[in-house]
Amino acid sequence: MSERTLVLIKPDGVRRGLIGDVIARIERKGLTIAAMELRQLDADTAKTHYAEHSERPFFGELVDFITSAPLVALVVEGPRAIEAFRGLAGLTDPVKSAPGTIRGDHALEIGENVVHGSDSPESAAREIKIFFPDRF
């Protein structure tokens, strides 16, 4: 059974020229891209996307960062796509992420960890609706 997840190549990933690398890993894994858009988020959209972290001390920084420059939003599809992409991404802390993962290969800072991937079917449905309303 196929599943969909929302993936973001965050502003650090775009700035550093990692769009192709991330897409290549998604495709190499056998996942497919169902939608894709380069866009810069406004603060309201960023706050809605990261609502679960609104009380965390890093929330302001997170919103500033994610709105600082264009990102690439993708809907990625395939069997267990949510878990499959989280596996490709690695752990939230890039230093703890194994080499071979996106974050393990490309990042050092928890706040600039290249990609986002939805963490559950409920999050995926909510996040896909934010980025691609009426498309799915």
Interacting positions 46-65 with ligand DAT (CB under 6 A): 53, 58, 62
Closest approach, Cβ 64 to ligand DAT, in A, equals 11
The mark string for 103-132 relative to Mg ion (x by CB under 5 A, - otherwise) is ----------------x-------------
The mark string for 2-41 relative to ligand DAT (x by CB under 6 A, - otherwise) is ----------------------------------------
- Total residues found in the chain within this entry: 136
Q: What is residue 101's DSSP assignment?
A: B
136 belongs to the binding site for ligand DAT (CB under 6 A): no
130 belongs to the binding site for ligand DAT (CB under 6 A): no
Member of 29, 119, 129, 130 binding ligand DAT (CB under 6 A)? 119
92 marked ligand binding residue: yes
Q: Is 49 a catalytic residue?
A: no
Write phi, then psi, for 41 (nearest 5 degrees). -80, 145
Q: What is residue 83's DSSP assignment?
A: H
The beta-strand segments (E) located in 40-123 are 71-79, 115-117
CA distances to 13, 89, 113, 116 from 83, in Å: 21, 10, 18, 12
For 53-92, give one letter per residue: b (16+ CB within 10 A) or e: eeeeeebeebbebbbeeebbbbbbbbeebbebbbebbbee
Could you list the residues that contact Mg ion (CB under 5 A)?
Answer: 119
Residues near ligand DAT (CB under 6 A) are 53, 58, 62, 92, 110-111, 113, 116, 119
